[in-house]
Amino acid sequence: MVAVVAALGFLLSLYNFWVARLEKRPKLVVTPGFSVVALPADAFHTFTVANHGRIDVFLSQLYLEVGTQRMFFPDLRSGRSLGSKLEPGEAITFFQEATPLHEALKDDGFTGLQTFPLVAEDALGNRFISKFKADLDAH
């Protein structure tokens, strides 16, 4: 009986250790969107990076994986640069003009409706991936 109670205690402590460890992991959520300011020429893709975790996260990179290449985004009119600290519950939205982005993707040989991995990386190298869809024939 003592051995059973000891085994249950051990399993419970392992479970608590595992849950505590998961809560300390960074968790960024990347959400692509689209925004039209006034004219179709003022169309922007929006990329929102939100910290859904319980610890501060330093956002170091935001990019599209295009084949074997990466299209990096610097400070995209967000008012904050990459390398910014995101506290729990905080989010940053970056804006990228749609036409130059679509033209760069067309130059790489893509046409029609395409889906690319949109990746945010933190300072520790953790990757958080979302899908970015673009209709390259619409612009």
Q: How confident is the model at residue 19 (pLDDT cuts 50, 70, 90)?
A: low
Query: Which of 60, 31, 26 lies closest to 48, judged by CA?
Result: 31
Q: Taking 50 as the threshold, does the pLDDT of residue 78 lie above it?
A: no
What is the rounded CA–CA span in Å between residue 67 and residue 16?
Answer: 41
Beta bridge partners of residue 114, listed in sequence order: 134
What is the rounded CA–CA span in Å between residue 87 and residue 50?
Answer: 9
Q: How confident is the model at residue 26 (pLDDT cuts 50, 70, 90)?
A: confident
Domains of the chain, residue spans: 26-135
Chain segment 91-128, per-residue pLDDT in tens = 988 888 888 888 888 988 999 999 999 999 988 889 99
Residue that is written with structure tokens 């953790």 in the block = 126
> CATH topology for 26-135?
Immunoglobulin-like (2.60.40)
